[in-house]
Amino acid sequence: MNTKIYKAIKGILKRNRDCKTNEIDYENAKVILKNDKEAILLDVRSPQEYKEGHLECSINIPLYDLSKMSENTIKNKECTIVVYCQSGNRSKKAIDILSSQGYESLYNIKGGLDNI
């Protein structure tokens, strides 16, 4: 997919996402991750949950460690971060934490793994 098409899709997503929680569905998350090589897929479940199964290419920072580990693990605050958990509740909280730390391009996979 060329850059113009990707930017158009990203613009549509920004306009159509839930502005309060930055929620997108899994299909749109895959588009972002496929076309933005700098994007990060972040799993905020516990290490045990992550070990039991996770989305390919995701990194695991549990929600309870996110505020102290995010800046050391994700240094670029302008990169796109797609966050998920099991049901979408922890990932919504993660979006709030990351936003308060200055991360700019944040998306939550609506409904988490339960919705995929």
Of 15, 39, 10, 23, the residue nearest 91 (C-alpha): 23
Q: Which of 19, 57, 79, 85 is catalytic?
A: 85
Q: Is 85 a catalytic residue?
A: yes
CB atoms within 10 A of CB 84: 28
CB 67 within 8 A of CB 96: no
Point out the residues that are catalytic. 85
